[in-house]
Each structure stands twice: as C-alpha cells, then as structure tokens.
Amino acid sequence: MNIRAIAFDLDDTMLRDDRTLSAFTVTVLRKAAELGVKIIPASGRARNSIRPFVDQIGCAACYIACNGAEIWNPAHESLQRLLFPDVVAQRIIAFARENGSYAQTYAGDQFYYMVENDYAVAYASASLLKGEFTPDMEGFIAAHPTCKILVMDDERKIARMLTEAKVRFAGEAAVTCSKSYFLEFNPPEATKGNALVACGKLLGFDLSEALAFGDSLNDLSMLETAGLGVAVANAREDVRARVRAVCGSNEEDGPAHFICEQLDIMETLL
C-alpha cells in the first residue's frame, strides 16, 4: 500500500487509557510526516479538546473534530463546519429530556449542559474543557447554532436510545457512539468518513492511499472510507468485524507499531 495519509481517532485508539500520547507514538507520527505522509487526527472531541494533542504531535496536516462536523488546519483555523438547523437540534434536546438523560452542546471554547450531575464533572475532567450549566438548552441553541449534541446515560439505555434515534432522526442527523455511555448527534453529512474525503481534496491524496485507525462506531465511516481501515485490539467487537486489519491495543501503541511496519521505519527510530 502506498500510504500518503494517516487518519486516526484519539480516545481508546491513539491515546492510552490515561488519555496521553506516548513518546513513541509521537516519534512515529513525526517520522511519517517527514516522509511526506499527511497526519490527520480525527476525533469526536471539540476543537479545543483536540488542540493540545495536535500541538504535541506538531506535524498534523489538518484535524477533524466533532465526528467530522469540523475540519481545522494546524493553526487552528476553520476549514469546514457543518451546523444543525435550530429546529432539529431542539428536537434532539427534547428527545434527551423525554428519556431523562443528560445532554450537552458546544459553543466557542466551552460545553453547555442542561442537567447538573456527575456526567458534567467527568466530561470537564476528560476533555479539559470548561462547562456551564444551561437549563434552557433549547433557547441557547436558538442563539448558538451547534454542530454536535452529546447525550450521556447508562450504557444499556444508550443502546436502546441509539436504535430509536436512528429511526426518529433519519435524514436529519448522523447518530453514533464513541463510548458505550455516549449517544452523539451531528448534522447528517457530518461523519469522519465524509471529513476524510474532504481532507483528501484539500491535501491532495487519494482515499486508496489513506490508512485509518479507530475503535468505535463513530470511526466506522472513516475506517470503511480509507484504503485500509484498522481497528485496535480493544475496539468494539462489531467494529473489529467490519475492518480489514486489527493492530495492537491503544495501551500497546498498536497504531504506531502498525505504521512502523507499513512504512518500514522501525530501524530508523532505533
């Protein structure tokens, strides 16, 4: 395979369980970039939650945020942003309220949540973003159009809501999960796969030359769009079943080792 681009999810894929990038992974990505390969982080996280990792890597050609709703250049300038119509976003919030679930949206550098509970605290800690309690979420969305709504709840409940949401919001939202207790809504064309297509046009590579790594449902479109989609060993079983290759886990720096094998660069790192 002639690799000209490498796209990868962050959490549970390229990041270790402590939400850090290993020095080995950073070294491998930089070496790949030196060889002319386009490095493309692609996460469900919002821009400012991805930004520290992009800066740490120091070689990203661009990066994908909010499950494909946004594309940013390395200087953190917007290249593409897809937004919900207010009425659709408000119906999604109503769906969360019907189910008694926590929900949040994003504006500027913060997230805004409608229920005060442990989910908001945990998300702030994991994402490094500031959150603000916003009980009138419908009114907030009318004034701040959004590209993503995140619902959190018990994983069994989320599994049921995922099935229902895909039917209720068919054609109006892309509905997916990056974690078992996350239910994520984006505009219908906002997927990591579609964003990878856009990156190919922006950066000048063919999708057959793209290598992609992921672990969860929100990664599938990207894994199936790339010339070679690779799941980490710790990926969901239903994701591993739909890819052409599986590498080591995120804790084992699986993607970095796979890149070394594909580019034959391990000796140059020793």
Tell me the C-alpha distance between 196 and 40, whole Å: 9
Where does residue 23 rank: exposed (0-12), middle (13-18), buried (19+ CB within 10 A)? exposed
Q: What is the pLDDT of residue 267?
A: 79
3-class SS of residue 65: strand
Q: What is the pLDDT of residue 269?
A: 80
E runs forming strands in 47-119: 63-65, 70-72, 78-81, 102-107, 110-113
Instruction: Please state the pTM of the whole predicted model.
Output: 0.96
What's the CATH number for 86-186? Answer: 3.30.1240.10
CA distance between the termini of the chain:
24
DSSP per residue over 102-135, as a string? EEEEEETTEEEESS-SHHHHHHHHHH--EEEE-S
- Can you tell me which residue has the tokens 């937004």? 83
Tell me the C-alpha distance between 234 and 12, whole Å: 8
**How many residues does this entry show for the chain?**
270
Q: What is the pLDDT of residue 13?
A: 98
Q: What is the pLDDT of residue 266?
A: 85
Edge-first strand order for the sheet with 210-214 is: 38-41, 5-8, 210-214, 228-232, 245-247
Q: List the chain pLDDT tens, one digit each, 270 residues.
A: 899 999 999 999 999 999 999 999 999 999 999 999 999 999 999 999 999 999 999 999 999 999 999 999 999 999 999 999 999 999 999 999 999 999 999 998 999 999 999 999 999 999 999 999 999 999 999 999 999 999 999 999 999 999 999 999 999 999 999 999 999 999 999 999 999 999 999 999 999 999 999 999 999 999 999 999 999 999 999 999 999 999 999 999 999 999 999 999 987 886
Q: What is the pLDDT of residue 104?
A: 98
Q: Which tokens is 42 given?
A: 């692609």
- Fold (CATH) for 5-81+190-269: Rossmann fold (3.40.50)
Identity of the amino acid at 134: T
Q: What is the pLDDT of residue 270?
A: 65
The residue ranges of every structural domain in the chain are 5-81+190-269, 86-186
